[in-house]
Chains A and B, each alone.
Chain A
């Protein structure tokens, strides 16, 4: 049986957490944070171009 979809509250909590983290990092390194927040980071795993959000919890991004 498949897992349930993340709840709206969970997505909202994750988004808020990201923005709070981003806001904290902006003070340290604005350019890097902007890139991390505004773009989906693409990872290459076993030939697949995926985002970190796509990943199986146990899949590790390749170098």
Chain B
């Protein structure tokens, strides 16, 4: 059942689980719990459609590395950001979850074995194949690079459409639209008793009582709400020293251009408007040896005539005669966790009185080193196999700051896509905002879904991992509800 608070009056609700947010994570969790027989209320801040008035709640200030406007990067509506999702999927690699060298306080409190059981179910929910395919080491890469497979939801699955019937008809499920969680009712014992739900559209509201609560509003909004509530509740909601910190985004960058020799096709370039099919990535061996962030490479087609003219200035004519083509080298890489990259609050408030978000996104020398070394390693691979030659962009070689080149990537500028961290998982309350089950350490029954809990990011697009974590979170909630 769908109830739109923009037109309907609010009345107190009591359910087993209340989920804030009807995007990928929130919908996944809610439908799994409903299928297990629990009564669930989804509280979605947006409406059935996109609206500028709703998006305005996401507006804030970018004070760090240049970034896209915050109110444009996420969608506040039924189905959440799946409504503009690109459909790219890949699970985190085992080493992404296992490595301990990237961040103070150690690595993830979970391992691949904790997520693997949810892979096929998550893939089905997202409309992608269930097998990722084997990654294959490259013959001439000295064990440092491998050809990898990505999975795609094609066309990208929109939750509002795919799960529209479920929102309307699933038994024991109520979806409230235009319904924002303005506050939590918190007991002295550290138990959340209710969501205080308000509608900016109608100025109505209600109290939603439940036994367990899940925040699934997207990384920036989850952090914003937790920071607001931590202020309001004397830092009893989350570790104030960690909350909002270690914010990460995947970095996208043009590393350079390469030419190919004698029709070799080391990384087949993709034509404009087409989805890339060939990807090379760092291997665990290479990451262990270098301490770099994980990365993957693909290439885009380009007119190589100017590039070959440039090559003739430094290379012999005999060598240049062997050149047969080329492409632009693109990277997607992990940003190293950085405590100074963080989400905080502005003094300005939104229409419901919540302080707006300030994003101080920072990248550091480690990130610039990842970009540079990834380019150089691909260049060495081309030479070793005599497959081609790479020209690395001067900005990448120089470690230019802020990074340049994002503006040429029309689809997913480095600043746009994936917002991660701020409520990172940790093995102890001192080194994590949430525990291994995504529960806020100080609270008995409030969970964080989505990429805010990521401790590191790998290079994989996060939606599949978000869905795996959501399914696992639902199992944990169910286990706790059964235990009473």
Residues of A whose CB lies within 8 Å of any CB of B are 2-3, 5-6, 40, 42, 44-51, 53-57, 59
Instruction: Say yes or no: A47-B315 contact (C-beta < 8 A), given A40-B383, A42-B383.
Output: no
**Contacting pair B382 A57 (CB below 8 A):** no
**Contacting pair B313 A6 (CB below 8 A):** no
Return the CB mask of B157-194 against A: 1 if under 8 Å, else 0: 00000000000000000000000000000000000000
Q: Which 9 A-B pairs have the closest CB atoms?
A: A49-B379, A59-B314, A54-B319, A47-B391, A54-B315, A48-B391, A45-B314, A47-B392, A56-B316
| Minimum distance in angstroms from A45 CB to a CB of chain B | 5
Return the CB mask of B300-320 against A: 1 if under 8 Å, else 0: 000000000011111111110
Distance A42 CA – B382 CA, assembled complex (angstroms): 11
**B403 contacts partner chain A, Cβ-Cβ < 8 Å:** no
**Contacting residues, chain B, for A55 (C-beta < 8 A):** 314-316, 319
**Contacting residues, chain B, for A56 (C-beta < 8 A):** 312-317
With a 10 A CB-CB cut-off, give which of A6, A46, A47 has the most chain B CB atoms.
Answer: A47
**Contacting pair A47 B383 (CB below 8 A):** no
Distance A44 CA – B394 CA, assembled complex (angstroms): 11
**Contacting pair A48 B317 (CB below 8 A):** no
| Minimum distance in angstroms from B309 CB to a CB of chain A | 12
**B277 contacts partner chain A, Cβ-Cβ < 8 Å:** no
**B10 contacts partner chain A, Cβ-Cβ < 8 Å:** no
CB interface residues, B 295-345, toward A, < 8 Å: 310-319, 321
Instruction: Say yes or no: A3-B318 contact (C-beta < 8 A), given A47-B397, A51-B383.
Output: yes
CB interface residues, B 388-402, toward A, < 8 Å: 389-394, 397
**Contacting pair A5 B318 (CB below 8 A):** yes
Instruction: Say yes or no: A2-B317 contact (C-beta < 8 A), given A47-B393, A49-B376.
Output: yes
**B99 contacts partner chain A, Cβ-Cβ < 8 Å:** no
Kindly list 10 other residue pairs between chains A and B, CB separation below 8 angstroms, not including A47-B392, A49-B376, A55-B314.
A2-B321, A6-B318, A40-B383, A46-B314, A46-B391, A47-B394, A48-B314, A55-B319, A59-B313, A59-B314
Chosen A-B contacts, 9 in total, with CB atoms closer than 8 Å, are: A2-B318, A5-B318, A42-B380, A46-B314, A47-B392, A49-B389, A50-B315, A56-B316, A57-B316
Distance A42 CA – B390 CA, assembled complex (angstroms): 11
With a 10 A CB-CB cut-off, give which of B316, B319, B390, B394 has the most chain A CB atoms.
Answer: B316
With a 10 A CB-CB cut-off, give which of B321, B382, B391 has the most chain A CB atoms.
Answer: B391
**Contacting pair B315 A49 (CB below 8 A):** no
Return the CB mask of B348-380 against A: 1 if under 8 Å, else 0: 000000000000000000000000000010011
Nearest B-chain residue to A4, judged by Cβ: B318
**Contacting pair B384 A54 (CB below 8 A):** no
Distance A51 CA – B380 CA, assembled complex (angstroms): 10
**B417 contacts partner chain A, Cβ-Cβ < 8 Å:** no
Nearest A-chain residue to B261, judged by Cβ: A54
**B256 contacts partner chain A, Cβ-Cβ < 8 Å:** yes
**Contacting residues, chain B, for A47 (C-beta < 8 A):** 256, 391-394, 397
**Contacting residues, chain A, for B315 (C-beta < 8 A):** 48, 50, 54-56, 59
**Contacting residues, chain A, for B394 (C-beta < 8 A):** 47
| Minimum distance in angstroms from A1 CB to a CB of chain B | 10
CB interface residues, B 251-268, toward A, < 8 Å: 256
Nearest A-chain residue to B375, judged by Cβ: A49
**Contacting pair A49 B317 (CB below 8 A):** no
Instruction: Say yes or no: A50-B393 contact (C-beta < 8 A), given A3-B318, A5-B318, A55-B315.
Output: no
**Contacting residues, chain B, for A5 (C-beta < 8 A):** 318
**Contacting residues, chain B, for A6 (C-beta < 8 A):** 318
**Contacting pair B390 A46 (CB below 8 A):** no
Distance A6 CA – B319 CA, assembled complex (angstroms): 11
With a 10 A CB-CB cut-off, give which of B310, B312, B319 has the most chain A CB atoms.
Answer: B319
**Contacting pair A49 B392 (CB below 8 A):** yes
With a 10 A CB-CB cut-off, give which of A40, A48, A53 has the most chain B CB atoms.
Answer: A48
Distance A13 CA – B317 CA, assembled complex (angstroms): 21
Nearest A-chain residue to B310, judged by Cβ: A46
Instruction: Say yes or no: A3-B317 contact (C-beta < 8 A), given A46-B310, A47-B256, A51-B383.
Output: yes
**Contacting residues, chain B, for A42 (C-beta < 8 A):** 379-380, 383
Distance A48 CA – B329 CA, assembled complex (angstroms): 13
**Contacting residues, chain B, for A50 (C-beta < 8 A):** 314-315, 383, 389
**Contacting residues, chain A, for B389 (C-beta < 8 A):** 48-50, 54
**Contacting residues, chain A, for B382 (C-beta < 8 A):** 49
**Contacting pair B311 A48 (CB below 8 A):** yes
With a 10 A CB-CB cut-off, give which of B318, B376, B380, B394 has the most chain A CB atoms.
Answer: B318
**Contacting residues, chain A, for B312 (C-beta < 8 A):** 56
| Minimum distance in angstroms from A31 CB to a CB of chain B | 18
Distance A2 CA – B338 CA, assembled complex (angstroms): 54
**Contacting residues, chain A, for B256 (C-beta < 8 A):** 47
Distance A45 CA – B315 CA, assembled complex (angstroms): 10
**Contacting pair A49 B383 (CB below 8 A):** yes
